[in-house]
A and B are shown apart, each in its own frame.
Chain A
Amino acid sequence: MISLIGFIGLIMSFFCNVVVVTSYYFRINKRFNQIFYLALYCGLFFICLSFFSLMFAYLSSDFSNFNVFQNSHSSKPLLYKITGTWGNHEGSMLLWLLIMNIYNIVFSFNTTLEDILKKLTIFFQSSLYLCFSLFVILTSNPFLVNSIEVNEGLGLNPILQDPALAIHPPFLYIGYVGFSLILSLALAGTISDKLDNLWIKVIKRWTMFCWLMLTGGIALGSYWAYYELGWGGWWFWDPVENVSLMPWIAGLALVHSLMITQQEQLLKRWIVFLSILCFSLSILGTFLVRSGILTSVHSFATDASRGIFILILFLTITGFSFIVFILKAPHSNKKLNLLFINKTSALIINNIVMLIACITLLLGTIYPIIVEVLTNKRISVGAPYYNSTVIPILLPGFLIMSIAPMLSWQSNKLVKLKNYIYLLIVTGISTVLIAYLTKFNIWAFIGTILSLWIIATSLLSILHNCLKNKFNKFFIYNNALIAHLGVGFVILGITFSSIFQTKNNFEIETGETINAGEYSLRLNNLQMLEKNNFQELQGVFLLYKKDKLLTSIKSSKRYYYVSKIITTEAGIYHDWLKDFYLVLSDEKNNKWSITIYHNPLVSFIWIGVIIMIFSGMVGVLKR
C-alpha cells in the first residue's frame, strides 16, 4: 500500500514538472503564470510524499517493498532505519530527486533576478528533474513490490551503520545536486544574455553553498573512513572519492573565478564553462559509480541498463549545455589586467592549477576504460599515480593562496610587503628547525613551509585589516583569509599525518603493559557486549604517559548477526597534536595482536575543514 502511494507520488511529481516545462512556453498569459508556480509547488509536495512513503516503509519494516526487503532488517536501530532510506541505489536516487526539487523551490523565492531569467532557470531545473525522474522511474524504482511473502529483510551493510555515514550522503547530494541549479542558472543566463552583476551575485551565493555542502559531505566521508575502516588513514584515492573530488575542485575554481568576474567583469565565458563542468562531472561521477564500471569500496547493486541510461543522460545534458556554450557564450573585449602579481593573475593561476588537477583526476579515473576499449588490455590506476601527479600540481596554487587575498586588483603592489618578507624568513627558519628535529623528508619540508606560510600570512593579513578597520565589518574584509587559514591547517594536518605516521604491531595479553617511548599501554580487560543487532568484543586499553593515566581507549570488533560480517571499530584517543589509533586484530594463544597508529596532527585536518565551512557559511550569509 505504502509502496503504491510512494510510486504515485513519484509519477505525479514527474507530471507536475511536465506542466512546469510546458507552461513556460505560454508564460505571457497570466493564468499560465499561476499554473507554472502551482505545478512547481505541487511537484515538491508529491516528491516529498514519495520520499516519506519510502521512509515510512523503512520505519515500519514493510518487507512487501522489495527495496526495504533488500536493505533493511527489523532489528536495526531506529536511526539506521531512517538512514537506510538513502543507503542504497534506488533510495539515494529518490533523495537526489527530492533535493533537486527543493533547490528549484527555494530558488523560486528569489526576488533579485529578473522574472524572465528566473523562469528560464526554473524551466531548465525542471527539465533536468524530468530527465532524472525518468531514470528513477524506468531503471531504479524504489517502490517495486516484493514477489514473495517474507517477514524479515536482508539487512543494511554493517559498515554503513554509523552516524557519520548516515548524514554523509545527504550532505554530499546537497552539494552534487546543487550544481544542477548552477547549470540551470548558467544556461538561462547565457541564452537570455543576462550575465550581469546581479546574476553573478546570485550564482556566486548558490555555488558557495553547494561547494560548502560538498566539502562537508566529503569531510564526513573521510572522517568515517578514518575511524570505521581501521586502516589508519582517511583518504585512499578510491574511485568514488576521486569522482567526488572532481566536481569539488571545479566548484572551487568557479567560486574563485566568480570573484574576478564580479570585480572586473571578465571571464564570463570561463565561468559559464565551469558552471557546466561542475554538474557534468557530478553526472559523470554518478555514472561511473552506479554503472559498476569501476570497482570500489562503495558497491552499489549494478545493472547495465542503468549505466546506459545515465550515460545517455550525461551526453544529453552535457552535450546540450556545451552546444549552448559554443553558440551563445559571451565574449568580452576587455583585456585581462595581468600584472606580475595582482589579484587577477593570482586567481587565474588558481583556476589553471585547479583545472589541471581536475583533468588529471579525470584521466586517471577513465584511463582504464579507454585502454581496455582500445587494446583489450586491463590496467589499474591507483594511489601512486594520484600521489605523484595531483599533489605536485596543486603546489603552485598553495604558494599563491597565502597572499592572494591581500593583493590589489589594479596594481602590482602588496601593502606592507616588508612584513610579509620577514614572515617568510621566520617561517623558513622554523620549518628548517622542524625538519631538523624530525626526520627530514622533502615532501614534509614543502608541506610544512607552505602550510606555516599560509597560516602566518593569513593571520598577519587579518591583523593588518583589523588595525586598519578596527573590527568594522570584520567578516567582510577577512572572510577569504579565514578560509585560507583553514586550508593552511588542512595542509599541515595532511602533511604530518601522512608522512610522520608511525605504525607498530604488538601482541598483548590481558593485564599486560607494553611500552612505546614515553607512553605505555595496558590491556585492562576484554568484554563481550550483546547489542540488538550485533555482538561486540571490546578491548579496554589504558594509555599512560610517564605512569600518569591519560585515558582509556576502547577498541572493538563487531559481529553483525544478520549479514554475518565482522567490522573493526578503531579506538581513537584524540589529542590536539596527535591521535592514538588502536586496532584490535586476532587472538593467538591468548595473545591479542594489536596495531597502534600514531597519527600526528590529524585533528588539524578536521579543524581546518570546520574553519573553511564556517567561512563559507559567512560567505553565503553575508550581504
Chain B
Amino acid sequence: MKKIFLSVPLIIVILITIFCLVFLLQNRDPTKPPSALLNKNLPDFDIINLFDNTNIISSKNFKGNIMLINFFASWCSPCKIEHPLFFEIKKNYPSIILIGIDYKDKGEEGINYLKTMGNPYDYVGVDNKGSIGLELGVFGLPETFIVNSKGIIVHKHLGPITKKIITNEIIPFIQ
C-alpha cells in the first residue's frame, strides 16, 4: 500500500512525459493550429460591441469583404507585442475589415487596453465567456484569422504576429 502511494510521483512523471511526447510527435507546432476550420466557412456569430453593449456586431454583415479577426485580451502579454502591427496592416490595406475580439476579459479592462494601446480595429466585440472563441477553436491568445471575400477561413495564425509573418503569411491572402 505504501509503495503505491510512493509511486504516485513516478506515475505523474510518466503521464506528463507521454502527453508531451504525443504532442511533440504529432508535430503540433503551436503556431500552426489544427486545420479543423481551415478552408471552411466562417461560422456566423453575433457579438456584443465592446464600446456599446446594446449594439450587436453580426458577422453576416461583412460577407463579401476580406476580414481579419484578431482575438486579444487585456491580460494577454504577447498581444501587446503584436498590437502596433495592426495599425500598419490597416494603413496599407484599408479595404479589409479588421475585427478585434476581446476574449475572456472584463469589458472595461478591454476598453482601457484599447485606449492605451490605440484601437486599430474597425469593429471590436467582447466575448467575455469565450463562447465565440470556442466556436472558432481559439487555443491561445493572440490568435488571428483571415477570412476571404467568400466567407471562407483561409488562414489562421496562433501567437503574436510579426513583420515577417505579415509579409509571408498574411499579405498573400489579403492582396
- Seen from chain A, the residues whose Cβ lies within 8 Å of a Cβ on chain B are 229, 231, 236-238, 273, 276-277, 280, 284, 287, 291-297, 304, 307-308, 311, 314-315, 318-319, 322-323, 325-326, 329, 331, 366, 368-370, 372-373, 376-380, 382-384, 503, 505, 564, 566, 583, 585-586, 593, 595
Contact = CB atoms under 8 A, between A and B. Distances in A.
Interface centre among B7, B10, B25, B27 (most CB of A within 10 A): B10
Given A368-B139, A378-B140, A297 B81 contact: yes
A322 B10 contact: yes
B contacts with A: majority SS: helix
B64 interface: no
B32 to A, nearest CB: 11
B99 to A, nearest CB: 19
A270 to B, nearest CB: 11
A365 to B, nearest CB: 10
Contact of B10 (A323, A376, A378, A586): A323
Given A295-B30, A369-B23, A378-B138, 14 more contacts: A280-B13, A287-B20, A293-B30, A304-B24, A311-B20, A315-B13, A319-B14, A326-B7, A376-B34, A377-B137, A378-B137, A382-B104, A586-B118, A595-B116
Interface string B80-120: 11001000000000000000000010000000100111100
Interface in B2-35: 2-3, 6-7, 9-10, 13-14, 16-17, 19-31, 33-34
Given A231-B77, A297-B81, A384-B75, A292 B9 contact: no
A124 B134 CA distance: 48
Given A372-B28, A378-B140, A293 B13 contact: no
30 contacts: A229-B80, A236-B75, A238-B77, A273-B9, A276-B9, A291-B24, A292-B30, A295-B158, A295-B159, A311-B20, A311-B21, A311-B24, A314-B13, A315-B14, A319-B10, A322-B9, A323-B10, A325-B10, A366-B20, A368-B139, A372-B139, A373-B22, A378-B140, A379-B140, A380-B139, A382-B104, A383-B75, A505-B116, A564-B163, A595-B116
Interface centre among A292, A308, A329, A372 (most CB of B within 10 A): A372
Nearest to A318: B13
Given A325-B9, A585-B118, A382 B14 contact: no
Nearest to A317: B13
In the A-B complex, the 6 residue pairs with the smallest Cβ-Cβ separation, listed nearest first, are: A378-B139, A380-B140, A322-B10, A383-B75, A236-B77, A295-B159
A294 to B, nearest CB: 7
Nearest to B112: A503
Contacts of A585: 116-118
Nearest to A331: B2
B78 A295 contact: yes
Interface of B: 2-3, 6-7, 9-10, 13-14, 16-17, 19-31, 33-34, 36, 73, 75-78, 80-81, 84, 104, 112, 115-118, 137-141, 158-160, 163
Interface centre among A294, A318, A583 (most CB of B within 10 A): A318
Contacts of A372: 23, 28, 139
Contacts of B33: 378
A530 to B, nearest CB: 23
Contact of A505 (B29, B84, B115, B163): B115
B160 to A, nearest CB: 8
Given A277-B9, A376-B34, A380-B138, A293 B24 contact: yes
Contacts of A318: 13
A214 B52 CA distance: 46
Contacts of B141: 380, 382
B153 to A, nearest CB: 15
A308 B10 contact: no
A379 B141 CA distance: 9
B25 to A, nearest CB: 8
Contacts of A377: 137, 139
B122 to A, nearest CB: 18
Contacts of B10: 319, 322-323, 325-326
Contacts of A237: 75
A380 B78 CA distance: 13
A304 B27 contact: yes
B120 to A, nearest CB: 11
Contacts of B139: 368, 372, 377-380
B17 A314 contact: yes
Contacts of A373: 19, 22-23, 26
Contacts of B16: 284, 366
Nearest to B17: A315
A322 B5 CA distance: 12
B49 to A, nearest CB: 21
B9 A503 contact: no
A546 B36 CA distance: 61
A17 B140 CA distance: 42
B20 A369 contact: yes
B21 to A, nearest CB: 6
A315 B20 CA distance: 11
Nearest to B30: A295
B139 to A, nearest CB: 2
B6 A326 contact: yes
A481 B118 CA distance: 47
Contacts of A369: 19-20, 23
B119 to A, nearest CB: 12
A220 B34 CA distance: 37
A377 B24 CA distance: 15
A505 B114 CA distance: 11
Contacts of B116: 503, 505, 583, 585, 595
Contacts of A292: 29-30
B18 to A, nearest CB: 9
Nearest to A383: B75
A295 B140 contact: yes
Contacts of A231: 77, 80
B35 to A, nearest CB: 11
